[in-house]
Amino acid sequence: MPIFEYKGVNAKGKNIAGIIDAESPRVARTRLKREGIFLTNLIEGKEGTAGGRKAFDLKKSFQRVSALDLAIITRQFATLVRAGIPLVDCLTALVDQTDNEKLKRVLSRVKDRVNEGSSMADALKNFPKVFNSLYINMIAAGEQSGTLEIVLQRLADFTEAQVKLRSKVRSAMLYPIILSVIIVIILAVLFTFVIPKITRVFEGAKIVLPLITRILIAMADLFSSYWYMVLLLVIILTVVLRGILKTEAGHAFKDRKVLELPVFGPLIRMVAISRFSRTLATLLKSGVPLLVSMDIVRNVVANQTLADAIDDARDAVREGESIATTLKKSGQFPPIVFHMISTGEKTGQLEEMLSNVADTYDEQVDAKLSALTTALEPLMIVIMGGIVAFIVFSVLLPIMQMMEQVK
């Protein structure tokens, strides 16, 4: 269905703008008139007009809705609902509030469906790329139980916590990634242009070059003469590896080995367990049934090995068994997790125990990230120093041999 951007004046004389989907401009005008809006301009939302022709808006076309955009809009939504504003008016305010054009269009279409009598959850289901199953199921639970305000607040808290956690991980990894890229660029320049010129000095020398120098010369010749072959090999290996990892077996193998990595493996596991615990606690507190929650939560851990363990736990719950027992059998969850979950199941405080697990692992992730960031800086400096030392000694050793021959 076409989308139209409109500008007009409402019954109070206030200038307004928004987006509406309709079968034709005439239908759009009729619907807006019914809402008390006097139109001053109406154009198709994904296209603009220039010289009488429709011009494609590249920026809007590639714009995406980030987790931060969703967190902000959810917090605003919770505030509006808590203030007692009708749902359609809340959505209208959100459309006017957001600067993200894609999110603006989505919210406008959600508003139209709600205005036509659809539930909020059903309206959101039409946009799975913006609102995931967790978001939709929590909204549905809130509408059914009459606690939409509380659910939106929990969703806002949860989404903001996930954005914060993701930001911490990215910030911790940004420095080593940038430094690694700089090192690779410097080495490529040295081995392609600088070192070949230096090593030409040794071509006419009647000395046996040290092994370290011969290695350096071989590497320099490879990069300077066959750099395109090296680049092509890297591209081919990257494409092949990505193809393998896209297969079910390759993806499962990668996820299993990632958890076994030194230093990074435990950190990845902590982040996944924190997401699992926080998401499951949020869903259960919002009234989403346990089995449905388990289906949703398996997708947030972003690791097939842990997702398989959660699937086994879901199947065990369906058969009347304990979640904690199945998680323990999987061997993928630390003892503190299944012990606290077991306590929560026995005392009827599973949501609180899951929240405690998430808080504990969030603190551990913070501590690990701080320690990792602190350790990576000197480690990268040592690696860079080792590379420089290798190059310096490779050049100096034959020079010293030549000087001894002169004496």
Name the residue type at position 398.
Answer: P
Integer Cα distance of 342 and 349 in angstroms? 10
Beta bridge partners of 44: 4
Q: Over range 70-84, report the average pLDDT.
A: 89
pLDDT at 236: 94
Beta bridge partners of 342: none
- pLDDT of 104 over the 80 cut: yes
Q: Over range 290-299, report the average pLDDT.
A: 84
Q: Is 108 exposed, middle or buried (0-12, 13-18, 19+ CB in 10 A)?
A: buried
Domains and CATH numbers, the chain: 3-62 (no CATH), 67-131 (1.20.81.30)
Tokens of 246: 């896209």
String of DSSP letters for 352-379? HHHHHHHHHHHHHHHHHHHHHHHHHHHH
Q: Is 385 exposed, middle or buried (0-12, 13-18, 19+ CB in 10 A)?
A: exposed
**Least trusted range by pLDDT, from 55-64, 227-236, 390-399:** 55-64
Name the residue type at position 58.
Answer: L
Kindly report the number of other CB atoms within 10 A of residue 30's CB atom: 12
Q: Is residue 35 very low, low, confident or very high in pLDDT (cuts 50, 70, 90)?
A: confident
Q: What is the CA radius of gyration of the chain?
A: 30
Q: What is the pLDDT of residues 202-259, one digit of tens each?
A: 766 677 888 888 888 888 888 777 778 878 998 999 999 989 888 888 888 998 999 8
Q: What is the mean pLDDT of the chain?
A: 82
- pLDDT of 83 over the 50 cut: yes
* Sequence-separated (6 or more) residues with CB below 8 Å from residue 14: none
Q: Over range 79-92, report the average pLDDT.
A: 89
Q: Over range 158-165, report the average pLDDT.
A: 82
**Global confidence as pTM:** 0.65
Q: What percent of the chain has pLDDT over 90?
A: 4
Integer Cα distance of 405 and 236 in angstroms? 47
pLDDT at 406: 64
3-state per-residue secondary structure call for the chain: CCEEEEEEECCCCCEEEEEEECCCHHHHHHHHHHCCCEEEEEEECCEEEECCEEEECHHHHHCCCCHHHHHHHHHHHHHHHHCCCCHHHHHHHHHHHCCCHHHHHHHHHHHHHHHCCCCHHHHHCCCCCCCCHHHHHHHHHHHHHCCHHHHHHHHHHHHHHHHHHHHHHHHHHHHHHHHHHHHHHHHHHHHHHHHHHHHHHHCCCCCCCCHHHHHHHHHHHHHHHHHHHHHHHHHHHHHHHHHHHHCHHHHHHHHHHHCCCCCHHHHHHHHHHHHHHHHHHHHHHCCCCHHHHHHHHCCCCCCHHHHHHHHHHHHHHHCCCCHHHHHHHHCCCCHHHHHHHHHHHHHCCHHHHHHHHHHHHHHHHHHHHHHHHHHHHHHHHHHHHHHHHHHHHHHHHHHHHHHHHHC
Higher pLDDT, 340 or 171: 340
Closest CA to 387 of 95, 186, 247: 186
- pLDDT of 401 over the 60 cut: yes
**Least trusted range by pLDDT, from 58-67, 309-318, 329-338:** 58-67
pLDDT at 187: 82
Name the residue type at position 137.
Answer: N
